[in-house]
Amino acid sequence: MNAIRSGKLGRIVPPVVAFVLFVGLWQLIVGQADIPPYMLPKPTDIVASVGDNWRSLLGSVYTTALETVIGFLLSVAGGVLGAILLASSKVIERSVYPYAIVLQTIPIVAVAPIIVIWFDAGLRSIVIIAFLIGFCPMLSNTLIGLNSTDQHLKNLFRLYNASKWQTMWKLRIPAALPYIVGGLKISCSLCVIGAIVGEYVAGVGGGQGGLGYAITYAAMRIQTPYLFACGLMASLLGIAFYQLVNWFSRKLLGSWHESELAPDND
Amino acid sequence: MQVLGLNNVSKMYKNGTIAVQQANLSVREGDFVSFVGPSGCGKSTIFRMAAGLSAPTGGEIEILGGSPDEARKSNGIACVFQEATLLPWVSVRDNIALPLQLRKQPRKRQVEEAERVLHLVGLQDYAKALPRELSGGMKMRVSIARALVANPRILFMDEPFGALDEITRQTLQDELLTIRQKTERMTILFVTHNAFEAVYLSNRVMVMTPRPGRIAGEIRIDVPYPRGERFRAHPDFGRYVSEVSESLKH
């Protein structure tokens, strides 16, 4: 019991037990209540659906993952570079930042059809939609980070006659890394959502349907177990992506920032 | 030779607060001048103006033969603040080498000079450590080392030991005096709340009073360097401290 309470076992066992209980209850209740699969499939129906359609499911996951990654990388590059530009000049920041806020408030489901009209249905539109949804958190977080540099450190750089570029590169950007990483964690999940929403609207991505397309297709045919399977895959994709970003965060900040330092042993 | 001159220097903020009023001061090369006074008497404001980080609203400042901006650009001055202000993401050595890095000195020179001052402050074994691995006293040593790496002619120290315990504070006071002995002709301007510290370290103590901030008086500490525990135990030490404390009350 003590081994379970402490250490790795203590972190893994409780959620696994909760999951098994939940799935078990679900299986039992749906079976006993005789609920039809098209309304609420049993966990075993979902697993069977995954087994029967694993090839197309894997293909859908790959397509959505590709769109997500490209959209995410573009949103990171655009958000960080945009924030650096805004942070370089108060005039530019005051002129442009309000419009970035407006962009953030427009629902992506309203923008997506316009993107498809402009860029045609397919991979390009979906990547742009994923980019748009991930861009704003990256821009906001990075800008807040760049503007939150410790005043004493800024004085120090001024004292040593650092140029604006030196101050940005050697001080403000490294100091903003915790905020940038916060933005990465928000954007990575949003980009998965953006890619799937884009697939709802744009349809097939790059010739191979993604998870959003598969969900739409399954919904139209009331293939509810497959619908659940696609939702599960989307969730797993989001979790995997988030864990990757988490790993990157630990590598970047683990040696010096409180948010990623390992707790001291008592 | 005068290295710093304040001529009727004043600083008034936009809200009308007079932080410093008509301060006059002449500092000669090699002086160790402490500024003692309560919070809000303008000690740090005078420092910021002399270091070129804030402009006076009245009077003139001449430092190293030119304006504070010119002195800053000629790399003749360095500062140590109450917070160690180290970059947490780089090593101790790279923190110390920062002034040289910003001046685009070759990497080899940066490392050599950083190692030299690391030895000076007794932290040669911590070159690759990160700031979070250091104690408060060690971080302050690194901050001092960084200030010394570019061989400044004037060192401003704004309550550098204020956040440390008494034992560490006294240890660093002794180390500072040792460093001063080794770095010839360096002038040090030192802000402190602590009359004991001011008397122990300085040859001149400027007493400041608040509202508005003024240099109310000067007390010369006519005790030669090097100084050590004997000076702390000597009756003259207590006499000087009393003199400073009395001046602060009036």
B1-76+152-162+183-250 CATH: 3.40.50.300
Say if the Cβ atoms of B72 and A161 lie within 8 Å. yes
Amino acid of residue B94: D
DSSP, collapsed to helix, strand or coil, labels residue B60 as strand
User: What pLDDT score was predicted for residue A220?
Assistant: 86
Which is nearest to B90 in space by CA: A167, A17, A171? A171
- Reported pTM: 0.83
Which chain B residues have a beta carbon less than 8 Å from that of A159? Answer: 51-53, 72, 77-79
- Say which residue the tokens 């109310």 belong to: B216
| Angle ∠(A137,A138,A144) on CA atoms, nearest 5 | 85
Q: Which residue of B has its CA nearest to A178?
A: B89
A165 touches chain B (CB under 8 A): no
Which is nearest to B245 in space by CA: B170, B168, B192? B192
Please check whether residue A9 lies inside any domain of the structure: no
- B130 closest CB neighbour out of A152, A158, A255: A255
pLDDT confidence bin for A108, thresholds 50/70/90: confident
Please check whether residue A29 lies inside any domain of the structure: no
Quote the tokens at residue A88.
């370089």
Q: Which of A150, A158, A161 to mutate to test the interface with B (most CBs of B within 10 A)?
A: A161
- B132 closest CB neighbour out of A156, A160, A256: A256
Say if the Cβ atoms of A170 and B77 lie within 8 Å. no
Please check whether residue A46 lies inside any domain of the structure: no
Residue A69 has pLDDT above 80, yes or no: yes
pLDDT confidence bin for B17, thresholds 50/70/90: confident
- Which domain CATH number covers A224? 1.10.3720.10
The minimum CA-CA distance between A153 and chain B, rounded to whole Å, is 6
Say if the Cβ atoms of A153 and B87 lie within 8 Å. yes
Which is nearest to A74 in space by CA: A114, A130, A11, A122? A130
User: What pLDDT score was predicted for residue A265?
Assistant: 47
Residue A164 has pLDDT above 50, yes or no: yes
pLDDT confidence bin for A178, thresholds 50/70/90: very high
**pLDDT tens, residue by residue, B144-174:** 999 999 889 999 999 998 888 888 889 889 9
pLDDT confidence bin for A266, thresholds 50/70/90: very low
Structural domain boundaries enclosing A158:
61-248
Which is nearest to B96 in space by CA: B63, B46, B134? B134
> In residues, how long is chain A?
266
B53 touches chain A (CB under 8 A): yes
- Cβ–Cβ < 8 Å for A166, B104: no
Which is nearest to A133 in space by CA: A201, A227, A58? A201
**pLDDT tens, residue by residue, B168-186:** 889 889 989 988 888 777 8
Q: Which residue of A has its CA nearest to B102?
A: A162
Say if the Cβ atoms of A152 and B81 lie within 8 Å. yes
B55 touches chain A (CB under 8 A): no
Rounded Cα–Cα distance for residues A215 and A221 (Å): 10
A18 touches chain B (CB under 8 A): no
User: What pLDDT score was predicted for residue B86?
Assistant: 95
Rounded Cα–Cα distance for residues B218 and B22 (Å): 15
Give the relative orientation of helices A123-146 and A54-88 as an angle to the nearest 10 degrees: 40
B89 touches chain A (CB under 8 A): yes
User: What pLDDT score was predicted for residue A262?
Assistant: 67
Count CA atoms closer than 13 A to A58's CA, side-chain side: 5
Please check whether residue A209 lies inside any domain of the structure: yes
Rounded Cα–Cα distance for residues B213 and B59 (Å): 15
**pLDDT tens, residue by residue, B89-100:** 999 999 999 999
Say if the Cβ atoms of B87 and A171 lie within 8 Å. yes
Residue B250 has pLDDT above 70, yes or no: no
Q: Which residues contact B126 (CB under 8 A, 6 or more apart)?
A: B92, B118, B133, B134, B138
Please check whether residue A163 lies inside any domain of the structure: yes
B77 touches chain A (CB under 8 A): yes
Preceding omega of B212 cis (within 30 degrees of 0) = yes
A259 touches chain B (CB under 8 A): no
pLDDT confidence bin for A207, thresholds 50/70/90: low
The minimum CA-CA distance between A55 and chain B, rounded to whole Å, is 46
Please check whether residue A16 lies inside any domain of the structure: no
Q: What total of structural domains would you count in chain A?
A: 1
Rounded Cα–Cα distance for residues A254 and B93 (Å): 20
Say if strands B187-192 and B32-36 run parallel, antiparallel, or are unpaired: parallel
The mean pLDDT of chain A is 88
Q: Which residues contact B1 (CB under 8 A, 6 or more apart)?
A: B28, B29
A2 touches chain B (CB under 8 A): no
DSSP single-letter state for residue B90? S
The mean pLDDT of chain B is 90
The minimum CA-CA distance between A3 and chain B, rounded to whole Å, is 31
- B79 closest CB neighbour out of A150, A159, A162: A159
User: What pLDDT score was predicted for residue B51?
Assistant: 85
> In residues, how long is chain B?
250
User: What pLDDT score was predicted for residue A254?
Assistant: 86
Which is nearest to B60 in space by CA: B7, B107, B98, B13? B7
Please check whether residue A129 lies inside any domain of the structure: yes
Which is nearest to B155 in space by CA: B163, B146, B164? B146
DSSP single-letter state for residue B186? -
User: What pLDDT score was predicted for residue B200?
Assistant: 95
- Cβ–Cβ < 8 Å for B159, B82: yes
**Burial of residue A181 (number of CB atoms within 10 Å: 0-12, 13-18, 19+):** buried
- Cβ–Cβ < 8 Å for B30, B224: no
Cα–chain center distance at A18: 25
Which chain A residues have a beta carbon less than 8 Å from that of B101? Answer: 170
Which chain A residues have a beta carbon less than 8 Å from that of B151? Answer: none
Spell B206-217 as b/e; 16+ CB within 10 A means b. Answer: bbbbeebbbbee
**pLDDT tens, residue by residue, B88-130:** 999 999 999 999 999 999 999 999 999 999 998 889 999 999 9
Window 131-160 of A: residues touching B by CB (8 A cutoff) are 150, 152-153, 155-160
Quote the tokens at residue A16.
């696994």
**Alpha helices in B183-223, H assignment, sequence order:** 195-201
DSSP, collapsed to helix, strand or coil, labels residue A179 as helix
Rounded Cα–Cα distance for residues B186 and B152 (Å): 7
Q: Which residues contact B171 (CB under 8 A, 6 or more apart)?
A: B137
DSSP, collapsed to helix, strand or coil, labels residue B55 as coil
Rounded Cα–Cα distance for residues B98 and A169 (Å): 13
DSSP, collapsed to helix, strand or coil, labels residue B79 as strand
For the beta sheet containing B77-80, the strands, ordered from the edge strand earlier in sequence to the opposite edge, are B77-80, B154-158, B187-192, B32-36, B204-209, B214-220
Residue A246 has pLDDT above 80, yes or no: yes
Q: pLDDT above 90 covers what percent of chain B?
A: 54
pLDDT confidence bin for A159, thresholds 50/70/90: confident
For the beta sheet containing B18-28, the strands, ordered from the edge strand earlier in sequence to the opposite edge, are B18-28, B2-12, B58-63
**What is the mean pLDDT of the segment spanning A209-223?**
87
Residue B228 has pLDDT above 90, yes or no: no
Residue A150 has pLDDT above 80, yes or no: yes
Which chain B residues have a beta carbon less than 8 Å from that of A157? Answer: 102
- Cβ–Cβ < 8 Å for B45, B20: yes
Say if the Cβ atoms of A152 and B85 lie within 8 Å. yes
- B89 closest CB neighbour out of A156, A157, A256: A256
Q: Which residue of B has its CA nearest to A252?
A: B89
Please check whether residue A10 lies inside any domain of the structure: no
Rounded Cα–Cα distance for residues B44 and B64 (Å): 20
